[in-house]
Amino acid sequence: MTRAQANVVRAFALWTVYVWVTRIWNIWGDDSRDGAFKAVHTVIAVISVAFAVAAWIVVRRVRLRQLAAEAAAAAGAPAELTARRSS
């Protein structure tokens, strides 16, 4: 995963959190919505935000492994050893 690809996923995760926090804020502030509507959309928001956080964590781990492998390769470690360490 390149740095640019990682940044796209991070931007998507941040956008998802922003949209759902704003949406839930508006839904809970709207007195014309019933409790079931608010509950369902809150569950959807929590799931979406959890996926966004999971995507962020996956990107972080992948990038850290790649950077560690690149650093080890630059230091002269054999490729097989570098691949095993990053798994």
Q: Which positions of the chain have pLDDT values less than 70?
A: 77-87
| Domain count of the fold of the chain | 1
Provide the pLDDT for residue 73.
85
Provide the pLDDT for residue 79.
56
User: DSSP label at 78?
Assistant: -
Provide the pLDDT for residue 69.
87
The pTM assigned to this predicted structure is 0.75
Range of the structural domain that residue 23 is part of: 3-86
How many CA within 13 A on the CB side of residue 39? 3
Provide the pLDDT for residue 71.
86
The residue count of the chain comes to 87
Provide the pLDDT for residue 70.
85
